[in-house]
Amino acid sequence: MPVEKLSEDIYLIDTLALGFREFMASYLVMGGEKNALIDLGYASSFPVLVESLGEIGLKPDDVDYLIITHLHLDHSGAASLYVKSSENSVVYCHPKAVRHLVNPSRLIESAGEVYGEYVKLFGDVGPVPREKIIEAEDGGRIRLGDLTLRVIYAPGHAPHQIVVYVEEAEALITGDAVSVQQPSSPFKIPATPPPSYNHQEAIETLRKLSRLRPRSILRPHFGEVRDTGNFFEDEVKVLETWRRIVGEAMMSERDHEETVRKAINNYVEAMKIDLSRSPLLTPLVLRISFQGMKKYLEEHQG
Ligand SMILES: [Zn+2]
The reported pLDDT for the residue numbered 302 is 54
Cα-to-centroid distance, 57 and ligand 1 (Å): 29
> Strand, coil or helix: what is 166?
strand
Cα-to-centroid distance, 192 and ligand 1 (Å): 8
Same domain, 121 and 49: yes
Cα-to-centroid distance, 76 and ligand 1 (Å): 10
Cα-to-centroid distance, 262 and ligand 1 (Å): 24
Task: Please indicate, yes or no, if residue 27 is contained in any of the structural domains.
Answer: yes
Cα-to-centroid distance, 32 and ligand 1 (Å): 30
Cα-to-centroid distance, 140 and ligand 1 (Å): 22
The reported pLDDT for the residue numbered 105 is 95
The reported pLDDT for the residue numbered 211 is 96
Structural domain including 258 reads 237-299
pLDDT truncated to tens, each residue of the chain (302 aa)?
Answer: 599 999 999 999 999 999 899 999 999 999 999 999 999 999 999 999 999 999 999 999 999 999 999 999 999 999 999 999 999 999 999 999 999 999 999 999 999 988 888 889 999 999 999 999 999 999 999 999 999 999 999 999 999 999 999 999 999 999 999 999 988 888 899 999 999 999 999 999 999 999 999 999 999 999 999 988 899 999 999 999 999 999 999 999 889 999 999 999 999 999 988 888 777 778 889 999 999 999 999 999 75
The reported pLDDT for the residue numbered 1 is 59
Cα-to-centroid distance, 40 and ligand 1 (Å): 12
The reported pLDDT for the residue numbered 281 is 78
Cα-to-centroid distance, 220 and ligand 1 (Å): 9
Q: Is 178 exposed, middle or buried (0-12, 13-18, 19+ CB in 10 A)?
A: buried
Task: Please indicate, yes or no, if residue 172 is contained in any of the structural domains.
Answer: yes
Task: Please indicate, yes or no, if residue 173 is contained in any of the structural domains.
Answer: yes
What is the sign, positive or negative, of the torsion defined by CA atoms of 163, 139, 38, 91? negative
Domain count, the chain: 2
Distance CA 198, CA 200 (A): 6
Cα-to-centroid distance, 72 and ligand 1 (Å): 5
Cα-to-centroid distance, 75 and ligand 1 (Å): 7
Q: Which residues surround ligand 1, an ion (CB under 5 A)?
A: 72, 176
Task: Please indicate, yes or no, if residue 270 is contained in any of the structural domains.
Answer: yes
Cα-to-centroid distance, 130 and ligand 1 (Å): 22
The reported pLDDT for the residue numbered 118 is 87
Same domain, 93 and 173: yes
Task: Please indicate, yes or no, if residue 188 is contained in any of the structural domains.
Answer: no
Same domain, 67 and 147: yes
Same domain, 293 and 208: no
Same domain, 273 and 262: yes
The reported pLDDT for the residue numbered 278 is 74
Contact 289, 191 (CB under 8 A): yes
Cα-to-centroid distance, 164 and ligand 1 (Å): 15
Same domain, 241 and 210: no
The reported pLDDT for the residue numbered 259 is 95
Same domain, 224 and 247: no
Same domain, 55 and 167: yes
CATH value at residue 29: 3.60.15.10
Same domain, 127 and 30: yes
Same domain, 131 and 91: yes
Same domain, 26 and 153: yes
Cα-to-centroid distance, 215 and ligand 1 (Å): 23
The reported pLDDT for the residue numbered 284 is 86
Same domain, 176 and 243: no
Q: Is the peptide bond before 46 cis (omega within 30 degrees of 0)?
A: no
Position 200: which residue type?
Q
